[in-house]
Amino acid sequence: MAPNQAAVSERPMSPIPQPARTGEATDYQGRPLVYVVRFCGTEESSVASAIRQGIGVLDSFLQRQGADEPSELVIVYRNRLPGAVTLQIGFPVDQRIANAAAGEVFAGLTPSGPMIEILPGGDLEEVLSVGARLPEGGPSLTWQTFRPADFRPWRAHPSAPVMAPAELGAPDTRPEPS
């Protein structure tokens, strides 16, 4: 893999981007993605700043490549720690655009494989909270997609379904012990 080629998902890419229903889970096919990584606090202002900055970097990259305006924003939430989260902020693109990734722009795939909706939508606090309650021992990964109207410009966190790998099952919704 080239220096800036990283897999957001380890599953092989398929050229078909449409999800196919499989029982409770939806099977997503990985699509080429350019993304930036941002480490930030869990406060709305920190996450919003990271997302706005990431969109700006990606927009500049796409403009230099002569690419069309993106029609979708993908945000992957990883490595939640108390007060911190790692964001992968990306745009699905043609493979030729992904191949040009360099510097702080990485190429990979959109999340793929069987996924379940673990939250139909909500504010940022709910999005991060549901991810933090996923069973331990598996990947700490949830993700959302947004339409351009939701991220141009990025304001408060838009409500959108939150997805997670089906292998993780549903989050633990039991109240935390007091």
**CATH code, domain with 85:** 3.20.80.10
What's the structural domain count of the chain?
1
Residue 58: CA count within 13 A, CB half-sphere: 31
Q: Is the pLDDT of residue 6 over 60?
A: no
Identify whether the C-beta of residue 12 lies closer than 8 Å to the C-beta of residue 30: yes
- Asked whether residue 176 is domain-assigned, the answer is no
What is the DSSP annotation of 132-168?
HTSPTTS--EEEEEE-HHHHTT--SPPP--EEEEGGG
Residue pLDDT, tens place only, 97-130: 999 999 999 999 999 999 999 888 888 999 988 8
Distance CA 151, CA 89 (A): 11
Residue 156: which domain range?
A: 28-168
pLDDT digits (tens, 9 = 90+) for 136-174: 666 678 999 999 999 999 988 999 999 998 886 554 444
Closest C-alpha to 125, from 52, 40, 43: 43
State both tokens at 178.
Answer: 């007091």
Higher pLDDT, 55 or 122: 55
In a domain, 97, yes or no: yes
